[in-house]
Chain A
Amino acid sequence: MAETVVVDFPKNFTRALNDGQLRRNLRAAMDTLGMRRRTLFSDPVAFEQLRARGDAIRQRALRQLPELLERLETKCTANGIQVHWAETPAQANGICLEILRRHKATRVIKGKSMVSEEMHLNHFLEEHGVEALETDLGEYIIQLDHETPSHIIVPAIHKNRDQIARLFHEKIPDTPYTEVVEELNAIARKVLREKFFAGEVGVSGVNFAVAETGTLCLVENEGNGRMCTTAPPVHIAVMGLEKVVERLEDVPPLLRLLTGSATGQLITTYFNMITSPRKQGEKDGPKEVHLILLDNGRSKIWADPELRQTLKCIRCGACMNHCPVYTRLGGHAYGYVYPGPIGSILTPQLEGLDHAGAMATASSFCGACEEVCPVKIPIVDILRRLRVESYNKQDASNAVKGHGYKTNATESLTWKAWALSNAVPWINAVNAKLLGLLGPLLPRLPAWGIVKGWRQSRALPRFAGKSLHALAKESRIRDE
C-alpha cells in the first residue's frame, strides 16, 4: 500500500464501545442476519453436507491455483476478455487508469467490490481526475459521507434511517428530508439512473471465476451490478486471485452457501454470469471486458498450508454477523478494509503483523465464526498462529510479514520467570505465599507500565490469602 496506515486500535475500540447509537444499529442488524441465516439452513445435516461440499471445492481450487489461473487466463483470452495481472494494488490501479485513459473516460460507475476497496481505487481515480461513483445503495450512502464500508455485505449497516435521511437531504441537491426507506430508495434510484445512462466505464468485483469456461460470476440484488457490467462500453472486473474455481458445476453449491450465509437468501435477485464482451451482431454489453487478477500478498499466504485456508473465503460476512466482538464494535474500529473475524486473519497477513497484528487480538476465541463459516476456515487456529507469530522473531520462509513485532524484554522475562516458578516447586511455594500476603496491597499501589493498560478496563482480581495448594494441605487432601 502506498501510504502507511496507522491504526490506533485501543482508541477506536473505546470510541466504538461508547457509541450507543452504533451499538443499537449493529445489534439489531446482526441479530436479524443471523436469524435469517438460521432459517434458511434449518436442516443441520443438509447444511453440514453442503458445507463439506463447499470446503472440498474451495480446497481443490486452491490446490491447483497456479494451473487454474493459467487456465482461466487462456479461456478468458479465447473468449475475448483481456486478462491483466497485478502484484500490488498500485499496479492494479495503474492498469485501471491506463484503460480509462485509452478511452478518455472520466466517469466510472462501480458495482460493489471489496478488492477495489483494498486497492483504494476510488481515491486513486479521483486523484487522477476521474469520478468513480459507487452504485450499490449501501456503498453510495457511505461514499456520500466519505466513509468506508463497515461490513463486507451490508456496507452502510452502521447507519440508521435518520442518519441516511439527513445525509441525503444535505448532500443531494433539492432533496427533501424523509425517513421513509422506500422514498430514500427512490431518491437514490433517480440519481443513479442518470449515472448509469452516462457511465463510460463500469467496474465490478467477481464472486467466482470459472477456469473451465472463463466465466465471471457476480451475485447481487439491486441490479446495479448488471448495469455497471452491461450499460457502459467498457467493463473492468477486479478480483483477488484466490476467487478462481475449477468447473462450472462447482458454482451451484458455493452460490447457495454464499447467499444463504450472507443474508439467508435462497438466491439473490440476480446471478450474473459473464463470459465474453459483446460479440459481432449483439446489440448491447461492453465491447471490451478486462479482468484484473490481484495478488497483494495472497501468493505468500498460499505458500503456507495452514494460512492458505484463509483464501478459501467466499466473503459471505457470516463470521462478522456472529462475532461478539464485531457486533459490539462495527467494522470501522478495525481500521482496515476487511473487518470482523475474516478481517482479523486476512488483514495482518496482507498488511503485516507489525501494522495490523492487533486485529488478531480482537477475538475471545469463542469460535462462533468457525461454526458458521460456510467453507470451514479454521479461523481460531489461524488467529492463534498469528498471535504466536507476533512474538516469533525467527525468519522462517513461511513467517508472516511483520512477525515478531511484539517481542519485548519485559514480556520474555515475565514468561521465563513464570515457566521457572512452575517448574521448581519451592519457587512456586514462595510465590504463592508472597502473593497471598502482598495481594491485598496491590490495588493501593499506583498502576504502572503494562499493568496500567491492563487495569484500565478490568477490575483487579483479589488474591486469596492462601493458595489452593495450601488449603488442600490443611484439609489433608493427599498431594500426589
Chain B
Amino acid sequence: MNSPRDNILARLRAAAPQEATSAREADAPPTPELGRADKIARFNRLMEAMHAEVLLTDSQNWRIALKDLVRKRGLNGLLYAPGTPLGNALEADWDSDLPPLVGYSQEVEQCKERLFAIDAGITSTKGGIADLGALILWPNASEPRLMSLVPAIHIAVLEASRIHDSLAEAMRQERWAEQMPTNALLISGPSKTADIELVLTFGVHGPKELIVLLVED
C-alpha cells in the first residue's frame, strides 16, 4: 500500500491540467503612508479602542512612568528578561521599595509554578503597526514566549520610531520571510472574548491588561 502522502499527491497530480497562470493579480488597496505624528496617533487610537493602555513617554522618563505604575498596582513581582537591553536598564535602576524584578532565566519546566503565580511581565517589542493598532513581538531565548501571555498584566515597551504603516510594510521592510523566528506575534490588546451573547469581556486566558510604554525616541 502506498503512503497517504503518495496517494494524496498522486490524486492531485492526476487531476485535469490546471488553467494557465491567470492574468495579472489584483493588488491590495493601498495603505496610506502616514507621517510620524499621524502614525503614532493612529496607533494610539486603535490600541486604546481595544482597551490597551498607552502611556506616552520618552527615553528620559519611561522608567519613572513604569515605576509609578508598578507601585500603584501593588504587584507581587515583575517578570523580566535578564541580559536584554531592557532587562539591563531595569536592573541598573530598580528601587528596593518596588515589587521585586523576577528574571525568566530557567527553562519553563523548572519555573512553571512561579511563572503562573506572578502578577505582571514586561517585554520589549520589535515594533508596532499603525493601521492595525498592534504590537509586533518576536520572543527569543532571552525573552521567552510565555512572558507576554501568562501574567495578568503585560507591560510592553515600544520605541515610537518602530511603528510601521502596515503589516505588509513591516514584513517587506524587515525581510521577515528570510528569517521567521520560532514564534512571531501580533498583539492588539488584552485578551478578550465575545463568546457569550457577543458581549465583549476582557481578560480571558491571556493578560487582563496590556500597558504600552510608548517611548518617543
Residues of A in contact with B (beta carbons under 8 Å apart) = 25, 28-29, 32-33, 46, 49-50, 52-53, 55-57, 59-60, 63, 65-66, 69-70, 85-87, 91, 135-138, 141, 154-157, 159-161, 164, 181-182, 184-185, 188-189, 192-193, 196-197, 212-215, 221-224, 226-227, 230-231, 233, 241, 247-249, 251-253, 255, 263, 266-279, 281-285, 293, 295, 299-300, 302-303, 305
Q: A155-B195, A269-B187, A295-B8 are in contact. List 5 more A-B contacts (CB 8 A).
A: A69-B8, A85-B3, A251-B167, A283-B141, A305-B16
B1-14 near A? 1/0 per residue, CB < 8 Å:
00111011101111
- Bound together, the chains give a CA A282 to CA B4 distance in angstroms of 34
- Bound together, the chains give a CA A282 to CA B146 distance in angstroms of 11
- Bound together, the chains give a CA A214 to CA B89 distance in angstroms of 35
- Bound together, the chains give a CA A255 to CA B22 distance in angstroms of 23
Q: Which of B33-41, B64-72, B94-102, B200-208 lies at the interface with chain A?
A: B200-208
Given contacts A91-B4, A295-B8, contact A252 B171 (CB under 8 A): yes
Residues of A with C-beta under 8 A to B167:
251-252, 255
- Bound together, the chains give a CA A156 to CA B176 distance in angstroms of 37
- Bound together, the chains give a CA A194 to CA B165 distance in angstroms of 39
Question: Which residue of A has the minimal Cβ distance to B111?
Answer: A283
Q: Are A212 and B177 in contact (CB under 8 A)?
A: yes
Q: Are B29 and A50 in contact (CB under 8 A)?
A: yes
CB < 8 Å neighbour of A185 from B168, B184, B196: B196
Residues of A with C-beta under 8 A to B215:
none
Pairs across A and B, CB under 8 Å, 7 listed? A49-B26, A53-B27, A63-B21, A188-B204, A189-B205, A223-B206, A267-B188
Q: Are A284 and B184 in contact (CB under 8 A)?
A: no
- Bound together, the chains give a CA A182 to CA B106 distance in angstroms of 35
Q: Pick the most buried of B7, B172, B182: most chain A CB atoms within 10 A of its CB.
A: B182
164-185 of chain B: CB within 8 A of chain A: 166-168, 171-172, 176-177, 180-185
Residues of B with C-beta under 8 A to A160:
197
Given contacts A66-B12, A252-B168, A275-B181, contact A223 B106 (CB under 8 A): no
Q: Are A32 and B198 in contact (CB under 8 A)?
A: yes
B149 contacts chain A at the CB level, 8 A cutoff: yes
Smallest distance from the beta carbon of B89 to chain A beta carbons, Å?
21
B199 contacts chain A at the CB level, 8 A cutoff: yes
Residues of B in contact with A (beta carbons under 8 Å apart) = 3-5, 7-9, 11-16, 18-19, 21-22, 25-29, 46, 50, 104-109, 112, 116, 131-134, 140-141, 144-146, 149-150, 166-168, 171-172, 176-177, 180-199, 201, 203-207
Residues of A with C-beta under 8 A to B116:
193, 197
Smallest distance from the beta carbon of B8 to chain A beta carbons, Å?
5
Residues of B with C-beta under 8 A to A300:
11
Q: Are A283 and B107 in contact (CB under 8 A)?
A: yes
Q: Are B177 and A299 in contact (CB under 8 A)?
A: no
Residues of A with C-beta under 8 A to B11:
295, 299-300, 303
